[in-house]
Amino acid sequence: METNLREAELNVVYETCRVIEQALKLDQALETILGILSSSLSMKRATVTLKDEETGYLVIRASHGLSEKERKRGIYRQDEGVTGLIFRTARPYVAPDISKEPLFLNKTRSRSILKGSITFLGVPIMLHGKPIGVLNVDRLFGNEVPYEEDIRLLSIVATLIAQFVSLNRQVKLREEKLRKDCSISGSDAQAKLFMVGKSPAMETVQQQIRKVAPSKASVLLLGESGTGKTLVAKIIHELSTRARQAFVKINCASLAENLLESELFGYEKGAFTGAIRAKPGRVEQADGGTIFLDEIGELPLGLQAKLLRFIQEKEFERLGGTKTHKVDVRVVAATNRDLASAVIEGSFREDLYYRLNVFPIRVPALRERKEDIADLLHHFLERTSQEYGRVVGITQSALAQFTRYDWPGNVREMENLVERLVIMADGDEICTDILPVYLNKADPDKEKIPLSRIEEMERKEVLTALEQNGWNQTRTAKELGVTLRQIGYRIRKFGFEKMVEEHKRGDRF
Ligand SMILES: Nc1ncnc2c1ncn2[C@@H]1O[C@H](COP(=O)(O)OP(=O)(O)OP(=O)(O)O)[C@@H](O)[C@H]1O
Ligand SMILES: [Mg+2]
């Protein structure tokens, strides 16, 4: 028997290992693995059956080549059929021609459409020495490869699957444990409206918010994705006299032009096929309150004119209607695009731009306000800790990495990472071990290579010697037991040249 895996087999193993990233979405990961098996090894139909922990039944968790209906039929008792047999005996099973196999229940009835002989192969999925499921595969004309090889490969894949399942169960258990006793506070919504930020840049933002909120003015929020624009929009609403009325949000990038128009301004009965009754739009829902137009930079040109009129006159017609409606709505818009360039490009109306830009608030990127990182981190740690019912802190060195990192996804990226880290943390602290590697990539341009501790000691030694010897290089070199050239080198390395020069001059005068 060959001892090396065939190339195709190796490929299966390799590809399967790559799926590990998806392990937390178990069903999806399993489907992917079966897909890999089928495309690499011309296996036509494959299923992963796992024992349901509650009922004890064997249930198809993933399949390849089965329809949803077929899949649903695939529930077995442990004593049933070939799948049951493999599970109970914890041994592989091969049926060279399943049409001659009495054990075949063909529960999913998927095989009836196939003519000719089908070879069936099945292996148990073992975890800690016990079967937890079965991996089954059909090969259509599988005689060119000896069964032992197939079984060997399937067993390897089954082992990997078992690891996936195990990982998945551990995470689920941990999450459950963490969520237990979690007290969902009534003021959850309020807590989420809290804005962290003592940096000068954020102070400015908060001042602007306080100033503009009580007025009726439209506000334009500018800033990269994840910086907190939506949060600012909500806070503006909360701090305004409209707080008790609706805050209605619409994303201008999410819908095609005509749909967006009917969503925004509503439509009359018969406005288009399917409009069997009239429907008010978001601006009507927002009457008395605030409408938040997210990603305003993506608003189609055709609608820009209508929006401009709406902002100026608070007037509009529903789609397919002639009656003019009037509402009292405050407009807050946000974009991560450079609207001024969009105007120059011609994709954004200049008049609308100026109308919106009356009160712009720029929410700075997180890397522009690194002072806020620690506060934000503690804020999210506290919130996540509450949510999961346990207190998690962070070590100094992990915090240092957080601060050094540039956060291209801004506050949202940090918020998501903290949540993940709280789940992953073993003890009660987040330490550098569990931080993603990219966090540690220091930017070489930014960091003036810091001195090592030894260099730091050397620097002090040289400085002291220079001072004690009146900045005379010859005497200093002698005291330190180095050559004149060597002391010159150190003076340059530690940036003492200027001081040496000054003392030379001082000596002369
Ligand atoms: N200063 C802050 N303090 C506390 N939480 C914040 C702060 N800034 C942002 N967040 C939180 O970070 C997440 C992302 O913020 P938000 O959705 O407001 O960003 P955004 O600028 O609207 O992003 P996008 O452009 O992708 O819509 C939210 O959960 C928000 O609550
Ligand atoms: Mg947003």
Region of residue 5 (phi > 0: left; psi between -120 and 50: alpha; otherwise: beta): beta
Res. 506: pLDDT tops 60: no
Give the range of the structural domain holding residue 44, as residue numbers without chain letter: 7-177
| Lowest mean pLDDT, pick from 34-38, 96-100, 275-279, 345-349 | 96-100
283-325 per-position pLDDT tens digit: 999 999 999 999 999 999 999 999 999 999 999 999 999 999 9
| Domain match, 209 and 314 both | yes
Q: Give the pLDDT score at 391.
A: 85
pLDDT of residue 185: 34
* Run of H or E including 141: none
Whether the pTM exceeds 0.85: the reply is: no
In this structure, is residue 186 part of a structural domain?
no
Question: What's the average model confidence in pLDDT over 19-25?
Answer: 72
CATH at 51: 3.30.450.40
Residue 402 identity (one-letter amino acid): F
Ligand 1 pocket, residue 223 CB under 6 Å: yes
Report the relative pairing of strands 330-335 and 219-222 from DSSP bridges.
Answer: parallel
- Mean of pLDDT values over 147-152: 82
Mean pLDDT of the chain: 83
Mean pLDDT across 227-256? 92
Domain co-membership, 139 together with 32: yes
CATH number at residue 474: 1.10.10.60
Distance 195 CA to ligand 1 centre (A): 9
228 C-alpha to center of ligand 2: Å?
Answer: 7
State which of 409, 440, 471 marks the end of a domain.
Answer: 440
Are 484 and 434 contained in the same domain?
Answer: no
- pLDDT computed for residue 342 by the predictor: 92
For CA atoms 72, 73, 77, 80, give the dihedral sign.
Answer: negative
Q: Which of the residue ranges 69-83, 89-103, 357-371, 384-398 would you say has the lowest mean pLDDT?
A: 69-83
Overall average pLDDT of the 405-433 stretch: 89
Number of domains in the chain: 4
CATH number at residue 397: 1.10.8.60
Q: How far is the CA of 311 from the centre of ligand 2 (A)?
A: 21
Residues 316 and 417 grouped into a single domain: no
Q: Which residue has the higher pLDDT, 303 or 254?
A: 303
Q: How far apart, in whole angstroms, are the C-alpha atoms of residue 84 and residue 136? A: 11
pLDDT average, residue stretch 376-386 = 91
Q: Distance from the CA of 343 to the center of ligand 2, in angstroms?
A: 22
Beta-bridge partner residues of 127 = 130
Share of residues in the chain with pLDDT > 90 (%): 43
> Is the pLDDT confidence value at 142 over 60?
no
Residues 104 and 51 in one domain: yes
Q: Please check whether residues 163 and 269 belong to one and the same domain.
A: no
Pocket test for ligand 1, best of 220, 362, 412, 418 (most atoms within 8 A of CB): 412
User: What is residue 79's predicted lDDT score, i.e. its pLDDT?
Assistant: 64
**CB of 251 sitting under 6 A from ligand 1:** no
Cβ(231) – ligand 1 distance below 6 Å:
yes
Query: Shortest CA distance to 73 belongs to which of 94, 47, 96?
Result: 47
For residues 379 and 357, membership in a common domain is answered with no
Closest atom of ligand 1 relative to the 227 alpha carbon: 21
Given the CA of residue 414, which atom of ligand 1 is nearest to it?
12
Q: Is the CB of 412 under 6 A from ligand 1?
A: yes
| Dist. CA 96–CA 212, nearest whole Å | 77
For 169-180, write each residue's pLDDT tens digit. Answer: 887 777 776 655
Ligand 2 center from residue 294 Cα (angstroms):
7
CA 44 to chain centre: 35
- Gap from CA of 378 to ligand 1 centroid (Å): 15
Domain's final residue, options 440, 465, 494: 440
pLDDT interval class at 186 (50, 70, 90): very low
Highest mean pLDDT among 66-80, 86-100, 179-193, 397-411: 397-411
pLDDT at position 72 is 67
The predicted pLDDT at position 448 comes to 46
Same structural domain for residues 24 and 156?
yes
Give kind and range of the element (H or E) at residue 292. strand 290-294
* Domain assignment of residue 307, yes or no: yes
Answer yes or no: do 140 and 265 share one domain: no
Kindly state the tokens that stand for 89.
């005996």
The best mutation among 190, 219, 231 to test binding of ligand 1, ranked by most ligand atoms within 8 Å of the C-beta, falls on 231
Judge whether residue 183 has pLDDT over 50: no
445 in a structural domain: no
Residue 143 has a pLDDT of 53
